[in-house]
């Protein structure tokens, strides 16, 4: 298993490479002839594959290895880049993101990527891709605690199911349908995990699909009938949760299938000029700085009483240095809102395809910086606002044509970002004044 001391480094590096892959895919979608972008995606996929193989995250390594094969053929002009290929690449990037998030939550990053690997393999062989249909085996990333609950339940004679539910896309109140499904299942077992979370389901911060990990003594048919009692349920797929041992046996794979010697972590050509700092350490540094200010004030009082010119001059220099130190500490806590808004293009792309709308997302002002504690809080609310804006604010292409508008709706985040940042800065100022009182 991966060494704990390298785990966080792997997660941080993987997040950066995944973001780079997604950004480049958007560029490639605009200009399919841009081979430099293909090269950039290839390098990120290759690096991620090497790191995953070294850390023994087999599913991540297998998927990136197959992506790498497709990209290699495209960059050598042996394969023509198509819309279907780009779609599968986006799906692969989403799957990788889910696995990395699972690793960050304490899991082992396992996910059934068989379907994606097969589709990428067909692209490599020049075969026609069939249209994807909902259904199939579902795999969710679990942390160590969740695996313990699942394995203990199996030992006690319970079943552990992954229940994938699709709500009709035309349903007006998806959150209500999701709540009714949960309510119907309540008397037959326990939900130990929901993707998205139950809070997100309640806030309707999901598309039309959610997955429940359910512990029960009932059989699949019984649970199917129970869920089907809820109206506007389009599809229900129930599969057994597989332990790592069963999963490896079923797929006939072992960790040795991914060559490790050839995929060692590449050495960096350029020396990194940035370091990652835990926010708690920054808080500790700020607390120490506040103690320094208190002691400086005491020294100013002592200097005033004894009327020592040399001591007064030294304290004045200390005051200037303290101010500079404060500026540095505050700047270290700042983070660009780009880290939040980076997820918007991918979300808008998927949402526009599902809703049958054509959306041109334009963003500016993403270099604005806010305190990290605020950045952590604003992501999900802003995503929800953006989803509602596109869902209810932009018409379908045919409707737009009838109204004399161009087919592609334009969503400009400039004022949206500026107003949000202004509100957040005001709230931060009020909070600081309140704390001082």
Give catalytic residue positions. Answer: 46, 68, 388
116 closest CA partner among 44, 173, 59: 59
Work out the angle at residue 90's Cα, subtended by the Cα atoms of residues 244 and 122, and round it to the nearest 5 degrees. Answer: 75
d(CA 380, CA 362): 19
Tokens of 365: 């002002």
Is residue 19 within a helix (H) or strand (E), and if so which, with residue range?
helix 4-30
**3-state DSSP of 358-390:** CEEEECCCCCCEEEHHHHHHHHHHHHHHHHHHH
Is residue 28 within a helix (H) or strand (E), and if so which, with residue range?
helix 4-30
d(CA 45, CA 154): 37
Tokens of 302: 């002592």
DSSP structure string for 402-429: HTT--SSEEEE-HHHHHHHHHHHHHHHH
Nearest-10 Cα torsion for 341, 346, 350, 355: 40
Q: Is 206 helix (H, G, I), strand (E, B) or coil?
A: coil
**CB-CB neighbours of 407 under 10 Å:** 13
d(CA 217, CA 31): 53
Do residues 266 and 50 lie in contact, with contact meaning Cβ atoms separated by under 8 Å? Answer: yes
Which regions of 273-351 does DSSP assign to beta strands (E)?
334-336
Between the alpha carbon of residue 382 and those of residues 278, 365, 418, the distances in Å are: 25, 15, 13
């Amino acid at each position: 298993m991966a060494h704990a001391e390298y785990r966080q480094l792997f997660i941080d590096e993987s997040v950066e490479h995944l973001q780079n892959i997604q950004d480049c895919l958007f560029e490639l979608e605009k200009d399919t002839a841009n081979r430099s972008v293909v090269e950039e995606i290839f390098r990120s996929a290759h690096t991620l594959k090497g790191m995953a193989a070294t850390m023994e995250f087999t599913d991540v390594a297998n998927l990136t290895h197959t992506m790498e094969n497709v990209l290699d053929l495209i960059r050598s002009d042996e394969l023509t880049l198509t819309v279907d290929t780009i779609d599968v690449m986006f799906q692969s990037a989403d799957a990788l993101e889910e696995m990395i998030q699972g690793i960050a939550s304490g899991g082992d990053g396992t996910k059934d990527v068989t379907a994606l690997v097969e589709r990428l393999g067909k692209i490599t062989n020049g075969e026609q891709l069939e249209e994807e249909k909902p259904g199939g085996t579902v795999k969710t990333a679990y942390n160590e605690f969740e695996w313990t609950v699942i394995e203990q339940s199996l030992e006690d004679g319970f079943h552990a199911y992954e229940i994938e539910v699709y709500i009709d896309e035309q349903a007006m109140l998806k959150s209500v349908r999701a709540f009714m499904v949960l309510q119907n299942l309540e008397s037959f077992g326990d939900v130990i995990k929901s993707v998205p979370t139950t809070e997100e389901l309640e806030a309707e911060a999901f598309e039309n699909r959610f997955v429940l990990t359910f512990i029960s003594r009932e059989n699949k048919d019984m649970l199917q009938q129970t869920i089907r009692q809820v109206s506007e349920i389009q599809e229900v797929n129930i599969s057994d949760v597989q332990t790592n041992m069963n999963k490896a046996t079923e797929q006939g794979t072992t960790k040795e299938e991914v060559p490790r010697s050839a995929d060692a972590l590449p050495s960096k050509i350029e020396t990194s000029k940035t370091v990652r700092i835990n926010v708690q350490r920054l808080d500790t540094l700020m607390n120490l700085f506040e103690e320094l200010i208190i002691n400086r004030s005491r020294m100013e009082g002592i200097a005033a009483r004894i009327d020592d010119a040399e001591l007064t001059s030294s304290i004045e220099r200390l005051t200037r240095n303290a101010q500079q130190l404060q500026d540095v500490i505050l700047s270290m806590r700042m983070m660009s809102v780009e880290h939040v808004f980076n997820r918007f293009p991918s979300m808008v792309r998927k949402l526009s395809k599902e809703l049958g709308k054509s959306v041109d997302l334009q963003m500016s002002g993403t270099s604005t910086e806010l305190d990290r504690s605020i950045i952590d809080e604003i992501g999900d609310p802003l995503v929800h606002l953006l989803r509602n804006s596109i869902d209810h604010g932009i018409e379908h292409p045919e409707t737009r044509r009838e109204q004399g508008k161009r087919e592609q709706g334009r969503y400009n985040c400039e004022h949206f970002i500026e107003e949000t940042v202004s509100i957040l800065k005001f709230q931060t100022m009020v909070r600081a004044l309140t704390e001082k009182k």
